[in-house]
């Protein structure tokens, strides 16, 4: 697509949790073993009265304050699985709070770890089709609000955060191809079961993850997704300057590197002091990769998101951004 990711900004809540915090409430946990497996030492926790929409506003305002004219935003795609309300659509709240024009289309996408890739595909398609010239893709979630404090599987992993990306038209083919897929048979392995219309009277909303099942899904599908993307784009592994995977955990990323036999220096990692921010991990990683000079204009990169659903998506990006 003749579409560019022009800029990315992100927001992380100021409150953090580390292994000491986890051990205080769970003295039987072997924190050193958990951190060695996850690679995550610090996670960001949203305030009690702070929602995914609140965080999205703070991330988006960084773009609007420095690089983006709100009158030039033709669409707003909000990727979240923790909306403020069942209805109305959180993207509509964002349109108003950000002061975007009323001719701006705004809608939510209920996807998790693959959500940024799906959002890129949808936003890119709107621009490529001539329906819009520029838009904003925001990913934000507050998974920690759904995690039991004694949940050894989920609590050491998930973090709250938001990222906002500015998508614009380009005179070059910079975005794509894409590879996406779904296996809804695995829906029960990463779920908040007592929520939504099937349990409308329940007030007990807790996240459940069957970690080993999700891991096996990842090890099966991510290599297939990478190989399919390379085939579609007529590229080889060595043609990719940087691989940016969903920052699930050290265990996951290390095994992807091993399965694909990738050079470690070509895989960007930043989960240690951020944690797993669900759909926001990839755009946050892109921002940090630029800041750390691991990513520069002209680089060919591969993005791959995977997880809850099961859902996965990947794409090739020829990087050409302001930041």
Question: What is the pLDDT tens value at each position of the chain, 323 positions in all?
Answer: 999 999 999 999 999 999 999 999 999 999 999 999 999 999 999 999 999 999 999 999 999 987 799 999 999 999 999 999 989 999 999 999 999 999 999 999 999 999 999 999 999 999 999 999 999 999 999 999 999 999 999 999 999 999 999 999 999 999 999 999 999 999 999 999 877 777 766 667 899 999 999 999 999 999 999 999 999 999 999 999 999 999 999 999 999 999 999 999 999 999 999 999 999 999 999 999 999 999 999 999 999 999 999 999 999 999 997 65
Catalytic residue (choose from 6, 44, 104, 113)? 113
Domains and CATH numbers, the chain: 3-173 (3.40.47.10), 176-186+221-318 (3.40.47.10)
User: Quick check: 139 and 119 in contact, CB under 8 A?
Assistant: yes
Residues 6+ apart with CB under 8 A from 238: none
Active site residue 104: no
* Options 154, 276, 287, 315, the catalytic residue: 276
Q: How far apart are CA 309 and CA 76, in angstroms?
A: 23
Exactly one of 166, 246, 270, 287 is catalytic; name it.
246
Predicted TM-score of the model (pTM): 0.96
Q: Supply the DSSP symbol for 204.
A: -
Residue burial 159-197, b: 16+ Cβ < 10 Å; e: rest: bbbbbbbbbbbbeeebbbbbbbbeeeebeebbbbebbee
Per-residue model confidence as pLDDT tens digits over 74-126:
999 999 999 999 899 999 999 999 999 999 999 999 999 999 999 999 999 99
Catalytic residue flag (residue 65) = no
Q: What is the DSSP letter of 227?
A: H
Residue 246 annotated as catalytic: yes
């Amino acid at each position: 697509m003749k579409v560019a990711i022009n800029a990315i900004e992100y927001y992380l809540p100021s409150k953090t949790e580390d292994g000491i915090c986890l051990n205080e409430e769970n003295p039987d946990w072997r924190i050193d073993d958990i951190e060695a497996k996850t690679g995550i030492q610090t996670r960001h926790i949203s305030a009690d009265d702070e929602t995914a929409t609140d965080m999205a506003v703070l991330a988006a305002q960084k773009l609007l304050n420095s690089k983006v004219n709100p009158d030039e935003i033709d669409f707003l795609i909000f990727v979240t699985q923790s909306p403020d309300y069942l209805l109305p659509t959180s993207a509509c709240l964002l349109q108003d709070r950000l002061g975007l024009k009323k001719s701006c289309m705004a809608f939510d996408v209920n996807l998790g770890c693959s959500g940024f890739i799906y959002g890129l595909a949808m936003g890119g398609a709107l621009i490529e089709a001539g329906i819009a010239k520029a838009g904003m893709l925001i990913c934000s979630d507050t998974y920690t609000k759904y995690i039991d404090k004694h949940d050894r599987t989920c609590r050491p992993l998930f973090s709250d955060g938001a990222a906002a990306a500015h998508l614009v038209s380009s005179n070059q083919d910079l975005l794509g191809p894409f590879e996406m897929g779904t296996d809804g048979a695995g829906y029960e392995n990463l779920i908040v079961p007592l929520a939504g219309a099937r349990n409308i009277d329940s007030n007990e909303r807790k996240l459940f993850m069957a970690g080993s099942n999700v891991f096996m899904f990842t090890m099966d599908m991510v290599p297939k997704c990478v190989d399919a993307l390379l085939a579609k784009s007529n590229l080889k592994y060595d043609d990719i300057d940087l691989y940016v995977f969903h920052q699930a955990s050290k265990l996951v990323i290390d095994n992807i590197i091993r399965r694909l036999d990738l050079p470690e220096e070509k895989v960007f990692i930043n989960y240690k002091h951020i944690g797993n921010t669900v759909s926001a991990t990839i755009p946050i990683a892109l921002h940090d990769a630029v800041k750390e000079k691991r990513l520069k204009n002209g680089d060919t990169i591969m993005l791959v998101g995977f997880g809850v659903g099961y859902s996965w998506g990947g794409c090739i990006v020829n990087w050409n951004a302001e930041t």
